[in-house]
Amino acid sequence: MAAKEGIFSKDTFQFFRDLGSHNKKEWMDEHRNRYQESVVKPLKKLLEEMGPTVLKLNPQFETSGRRGANFSRINRDIRFAKDKTLYKTNMYVKFPVLLGGELESGELYAGVSADTATAGFRIYGGSKRKQTVLALVAEPRIAKNPRWLAQQKKKLARKYESYWYSAIKGDWKKNASWPKNEDWPKLQAWVVRKKISRGAATRPSYPADLAEIFRDVYPILKFVSIPD
């Protein structure tokens, strides 16, 4: 499934480095065409390449390409963010599963930033955690199968890094580890990912590498967020 040429170019990474040094509307306006060519078009191509792969894992994955559904936004919402820079220096292609109603699943994702590419699984709870799949789907399953989290660590820890977030008085705390059963009631987000070098991310084999990653981490997404 490898493309004839790489999805990303060296300028994809250079663009984010330059944006980090010139995070102003005037600079972004001047480099809008470069942003489209080096970032937006490659991400759209990546969505096209990976769509069939994720649909084989689950036909309910969102692959329509709708803004917000499959692509992160480069504009930062500075109303609520501590970081007041206008633009994010990374972007993602993401694949959630369509659950219906207000429930949101975890995601398979592939991201690119100034220094590296990353790919894997992630899930974020909302402000009403008791109404999310973290509580409604994952907690009962973990209670029924208390060895599951440890089994995932044993299976994947050599290839993937894991970190999760808890919330303390409204502030999120990053925990650089694999969550344990006793951590789950306070878990607000969880990421299992692999870092991919810039060289590997610009090779034609990159989509095939992503397919392997997605196959590895999809069982986590399924267990913690897809109802029976």
What pLDDT score was predicted for residue 1? Answer: 46
What pLDDT score was predicted for residue 160? Answer: 98
Q: What domains can you pick out in the chain, each with its CATH number?
A: 10-225 (3.30.930.20)
What pLDDT score was predicted for residue 191? Answer: 98
pLDDT tens-digit series, residues 85-101: 999 999 999 999 999 88
pLDDT surpassing 60 at residue 205 = yes
Going by C-alpha positions, the residue among 194, 189, 196, 198 that lies closest to residue 217 is: 194
pLDDT surpassing 90 at residue 127 = no
In which band, very low, low, confident or very high, does the pLDDT at 3 lie, cut at 50, 70 and 90? very low
Q: 90-96 and 107-113: which strand pairing?
A: antiparallel
The reply to whether the predicted model has a pTM over 0.75 is yes
The residue to which tokens 């499959």 are assigned: 70
The residue to which tokens 């709870």 are assigned: 125
pLDDT tens-digit series, residues 46-65: 999 999 999 999 999 999 98
Q: Do residues 178 and 157 lie in contact, with contact meaning Cβ atoms separated by under 8 Å? A: yes
Within 10 angstroms of residue 87's Cβ, the number of other Cβ atoms is 20
